[in-house]
Amino acid sequence: MFVQRNEFEVESFRNANILVTGGAGFVGSNLVRRLVELGANVTVLDNFFTGFKENLTQLPVQIIDGDVEDGELVKRLVQTSEYVFHLAVRNIIVSTKEPMKDFLTNVGGTLNVLQACLAEKEHIKRLVYTSSVSIYGNAKYLPINEDDPKTILNPYAASKLSAENYCMAYFETYEVPVSIVRYSNVYGPNQRPENPYCGVISKFIASAFSNSPLTVYGDGEQTRDFTFVDDAVDATVRAAIVSPGLVFNVGSGVETSINSLASTVISIIGSKSSVQYVDKRDIDDVRRRVLNIDLARRVLRWSPSTSLIPGLKKTIEWFESKKDEQQ
Ligand SMILES: NC(=O)c1ccc[n+]([C@@H]2O[C@H](COP(=O)([O-])OP(=O)(O)OC[C@H]3O[C@@H](n4cnc5c(N)ncnc54)[C@H](O)[C@@H]3O)[C@@H](O)[C@H]2O)c1
């Protein structure tokens, strides 16, 4: 069955013209690699705010150094695309500091993409928007279902939910074929610690390698649902080839505490690091998070294939390969 699904993906994307916004970023660059492997002609639109050209080294893609806020540019690029994966974003930390800028990129940029897809509706096969579990805030029920209440705790979550709502509005009103994936704490290769806004796993690995303390906010018993990037990419690609108008949780379905994550990273690396507890963060102060991923399992015929320890080992190997390159 797995082989058949892969063949289906290959057929869908072989020679297809695909635009990936935010394609030089962490998830975007992993997605671009997968699409290239599937035989697609990929164009990346990225302003390199948190993206890195090195993430796309040796990939035969067209790179446009530009902004999703530039509606004319987005329109021009969508004109020659059959699929659009829209990942460009200003992250949660920057968003909280500059909510207006967040709005312009995360909401305005998404509207530019939607307008362009509407204008080119005849040949757009799918727009996939990558949303975030941050829209659930401190969830009332666990595991979190897609239609559970949304609680907006910061401007980033507001912008992600707003962009989702615009996506669904364009689907319902104008039949722009949109799919939405809601990622939970993605980690893996290309999540660079040089990016000050990278996720907790990258920060922990970087600290563990240098035997410096791993900083934990609060008591460390808060939980997250960590998703290996290849699994997130797999779900994202599949979301482009099922019926449009659906929203999918994308996670591992497994709840992991930050304390347990810290000790696992320290033990895999064999580090001498300790854990340093500091006051809990003002942003993303969510106690427990784990997703119900049944809808994605059923409709996308997807399931996460890399659990935390193998995923951490692959990520750590990638860190080591980067260190070797620098020496
Ligand atoms: N990484 C996660 O854990 C996670 C969790 C939930 C949702 N997401 C979503 O996944 C997507 C990718 O996130 P990521 O972790 O790869 O982040 P990232 O910061 O690595 O990637 C975002 C990319 O967008 C680019 N960008 C920013 N502003 C832009 C603009 N105005 N025009 C063009 N490009 C711009 C950045 O340079 C970067 O390359 C985002 O939509 C994010 O909301 C990620």
Q: Where are the domains of the chain?
A: 15-186+229-252+290-305
Question: What pLDDT shows up at residue 95?
Answer: 82
- Please choose from 89, 134, 135 the residue to mutate so as to test ligand 1's pocket, defined by most ligand atoms within 8 A of CB: 89
**Statement: residue 72 has pLDDT above 50:** yes
C-alpha 84 to ligand 1 mean position (Å):
15
C-alpha 272 to ligand 1 mean position (Å):
32
CA pair distance 139, 222, nearest whole angstrom: 13
What element of type H or E holds 42?
A: strand 41-46
CA pair distance 139, 42, nearest whole angstrom: 37
Ligand 1, residue 86: give the atom nearest the CA. Answer: 41
Architecture category of domain 15-186+229-252+290-305 in CATH = 3-Layer(aba) Sandwich (3.40)
CA neighbor of 109 nearest in space, from 22, 30, 183: 22
**Statement: residue 175 has pLDDT above 90:** yes
Tokens at 3, concatenated: 């082989």
Confirm if 202 and 192 have CB atoms less than 8 A apart.
Answer: yes
Confidence band of 22 (pLDDT split at 50, 70, 90) = very high
Confidence band of 327 (pLDDT split at 50, 70, 90) = low
| pLDDT tens, position by position, 225-273 | 999 999 999 999 999 999 999 999 999 999 999 999 999 999 999 999 9
CA pair distance 45, 63, nearest whole angstrom: 6
| Amino acid code (one letter) for 126 | R
Confirm if 24 and 52 have CB atoms less than 8 A apart.
Answer: yes
pTM above 0.85, yes or no: yes
CA neighbor of 52 nearest in space, from 86, 29, 18, 35: 29
How many CA atoms lie less than 13 Å away from 205 in the CB half-sphere? 26
Does 26 sit in the ligand 1 pocket, CB within 6 Å? Answer: yes
- Please choose from 26, 103, 225 the residue to mutate so as to test ligand 1's pocket, defined by most ligand atoms within 8 A of CB: 26
CA pair distance 291, 88, nearest whole angstrom: 23
Residues making up the chain, counted from first to last:
327
Mean pLDDT (whole number) for 214-232: 97
Give the phi and the psi of residue 179 in degrees, each rounded to 5.
-125, 150
Confirm if 141 and 249 have CB atoms less than 8 A apart.
Answer: no
CA pair distance 180, 168, nearest whole angstrom: 9
Confidence band of 10 (pLDDT split at 50, 70, 90) = low
Tokens at 111, concatenated: 């509207």
**Statement: residue 174 has pLDDT above 60:** yes
**Statement: residue 4 has pLDDT above 70:** no
| pLDDT tens, position by position, 267-285 | 999 999 999 999 977 777 8
Confidence band of 33 (pLDDT split at 50, 70, 90) = very high
Contact partners, residue 297, CB within 8 Å, separation at least 6: 303
Does 50 sit in the ligand 1 pocket, CB within 6 Å? Answer: yes
**Statement: residue 53 has pLDDT above 50:** yes
Tell me the average pLDDT of the chain.
94
CA neighbor of 277 nearest in space, from 210, 204, 215, 206: 215
User: What separation in angstroms does the CA of 3 have from each of 6, 7, 21, 192, 256?
Assistant: 5, 6, 29, 32, 31
| Amino acid code (one letter) for 321 | S
Q: Report the phi/psi class of residue 85: left, alpha or beta, with left for phi > 0 and alpha for psi in -120 to 50.
A: beta
CA pair distance 18, 86, nearest whole angstrom: 11
Does 224 sit in the ligand 1 pocket, CB within 6 Å? Answer: no
CA pair distance 25, 105, nearest whole angstrom: 15
- The percent of the chain in helix, strand and coil, each rounded to the nearest 5, is 45, 15, 40
Question: What pLDDT shows up at residue 26?
Answer: 97
Does 22 sit in the ligand 1 pocket, CB within 6 Å? Answer: yes
